[in-house]
Amino acid sequence: MNATPLPPPTALDEVLAVVRGAGGPLATETVPLALALGRVLRETIVAPEDQPPFARSAVDGFAVRVDDTATEFRIVDFLRAGDWRPRTLAPGEVVRIATGAALPADGLQVIMVEDTAVEASCVRVLRRDTERHVRERGEDARRGQPLVNAPCRLSAGALALLASLGAATPRVARQPRVVHVATGNELVPPEQTPATGQIRDSNTTLVRAFLAARGLTAQHLRAPEDFAAATTLLRDPAHGAAETDLLLISGGASVGEHDFTRRLLTDLGYEILVAKAATRPGKPLLVARRGTALAFGLPGNPLAHFVCLHLFVQAALDAFAGLPPTSPFRDGLLAADLDNDGNGRETLWPAHLVAHDSALTLEPLRWISSGDLSSLARANAFIRVPAGTGRLARGTRVAFVPTSPSP
């Protein structure tokens, strides 16, 4: 049914390179901090003033002049965090001070409350060390110093830093507008009981969760296995067809009589960049481009979805965000033998990743077919097994891609 003969399968690294090269950075926008988690920063954030901007007490205690060596003092004020009452201390005077409060003058030291005995408005020093217990102005950062470099994905910690610097509406990469289409006459929604021959659609849930973990949402559609109807659906301006940045089509990517994704993408004006990947699972993968938009035809098998989303679609999201290309692969050790069969394609094997004795170890999960969902629930990684590899023994060093935060 496809218009032109299929080019040879594209190797995994090449697919990654094609995706990175095709997905241009999306525009920049500003967002409030409350919506900025996981967004990619587009401006370097500098300290607008010294951090901290004033000398603060690091402890609860009594501020005295460093050169005042008396052991009994008169308490002349009590400063809490937020107070600002500068004063010059005379010999024999102390100011009671709380953690975080601004010191009333230069040249002071804070004696910890634990090292004192208080009687009415007097304090006796029981122990005096050389530590000043002061967080000096500018000791964390100097005014103008770059503190968060762009581009980077904003973590909870980075957001806290931005908040402290007053960067309340950072400039970040715009989020891609995503449309996901599940194709297949055999599919029924999860809440429905399938008749014989039918199955429940699990890929929509998988795609939704993958996107949600990245702060993204999609418009989820169901397309009938009918070329004309699917084309009409995807051209419908009500679905924002023209504004789509990322089109994900589940199923129909291979060469069966009803597998029309390739023709559909061509008809919608997409240029096919990859028509097949030399990977298992994921062979009938399609990657296509229309202007700055990208489309993926994802093989319907759930395991293929799992792998292609975390490998190739992730690369597209990073490219949209304007992040520099980095390898998704990390090194780990096999926690058990992996029974590969010498397949001629690179295999991406679902695995359970655990930190063990300071190494990352991977337990290969049972895998009979790419349609198996039972192993997916525990899969938080997949192992890259080179083409032509047979059994790999426990302890072998392997490359893997983590799919959830590391253990």
The binding site for ligand AMP (CB under 6 A) comprises 182, 184, 186-187, 199, 201-204, 250-254, 256, 259, 299-302, 371
Q: At 238, list the tokens.
A: 């009500």
Residue 184 found at the interface with Mg ion (CB under 5 A) = yes
29 vs 186, which CB is nearer to ligand AMP?
186
Out of ligand AMP, Mg ion, none, what residue 215 binds, judged by CB under 5 to 8 A for its kind, is: none
Out of ligand AMP, Mg ion, none, what residue 201 binds, judged by CB under 5 to 8 A for its kind, is: ligand AMP
Q: How many CA atoms lie within 13 A of 321 on its CB side?
A: 22
Q: At 126, list the tokens.
A: 């029981």
Out of ligand AMP, Mg ion, none, what residue 285 binds, judged by CB under 5 to 8 A for its kind, is: none
Residue 252 found at the interface with Mg ion (CB under 5 A) = yes
**Can you say whether the dihedral through the CA atoms of 20, 23, 27, 33 is positive or negative?**
negative
Phi, psi of 184 (to 5 degrees): 135, 120
Residues 14-43 within binding reach of Mg ion (CB under 5 A) = none
Out of Mg ion, ligand AMP, none, what residue 299 binds, judged by CB under 5 to 8 A for its kind, is: ligand AMP
Distances (CA, A) of 253 to 63, 205, 266, 304: 73, 19, 13, 11
Supply the DSSP symbol for 76.
E
Out of Mg ion, ligand AMP, none, what residue 51 binds, judged by CB under 5 to 8 A for its kind, is: none
Out of ligand AMP, Mg ion, none, what residue 107 binds, judged by CB under 5 to 8 A for its kind, is: none
Question: Closest separation between CB of residue 300 and Mg ion, Å?
Answer: 5
User: Residues 28, 171: contact at Cβ < 8 Å?
Assistant: yes
Stretch that binds Mg ion, among 53-61, 64-72, 295-303, 371-379 (CB under 5 A): 295-303
189 vs 291, which CB is nearer to ligand AMP?
189
Question: Closest separation between CB of residue 254 and Mg ion, Å?
Answer: 8
User: Residues 203, 209: contact at Cβ < 8 Å?
Assistant: no
57 vs 203, which CB is nearer to ligand AMP?
203
Give which of 145, 34, 105 is closest to 94, Cα–Cα: 105
The rounded distance, in Å, linking the Cα atoms of 280 and 344 is 9
Question: Closest separation between CB of residue 241 and ligand AMP, Å?
Answer: 21
Out of Mg ion, ligand AMP, none, what residue 291 binds, judged by CB under 5 to 8 A for its kind, is: none
Question: Closest separation between CB of residue 205 and ligand AMP, Å?
Answer: 8
Residue 297 found at the interface with Mg ion (CB under 5 A) = no
Question: Closest separation between CB of residue 220 and Mg ion, Å?
Answer: 17
User: Residues 124, 94: contact at Cβ < 8 Å?
Assistant: no
User: Residues 312, 287: contact at Cβ < 8 Å?
Assistant: yes
Q: What secondary structure does DSSP assign to 110-149, as a single string?
A: EEEGGGEEEETTEEEES---S---EE-TTSSB-TT-EEEP
Q: What secondary structure does DSSP assign to 140-194, as a single string?
A: SB-TT-EEEPSSEEPPHHHHHHHHHHT--S-EEEPPPPEEEEEE-TTEE-TTSPP
Q: At 195, list the tokens.
A: 């008749």
Question: Closest separation between CB of residue 372 and ligand AMP, Å?
Answer: 11
Stretch that binds Mg ion, among 80-88, 212-220, 250-258, 271-279 (CB under 5 A): 250-258
Determine which residue in the list 23, 170, 251, 281 makes contact with Mg ion, applying CB under 5 A: 251
81 vs 199, which CB is nearer to Mg ion?
199
281 vs 332, which CB is nearer to Mg ion?
281
Residue 281 found at the interface with Mg ion (CB under 5 A) = no
Stretch that binds Mg ion, among 83-91, 236-244, 246-254, 371-379 (CB under 5 A): 246-254
Supply the DSSP symbol for 242.
G
List of residues contacting Mg ion (CB under 5 A)? 184, 251-252, 300
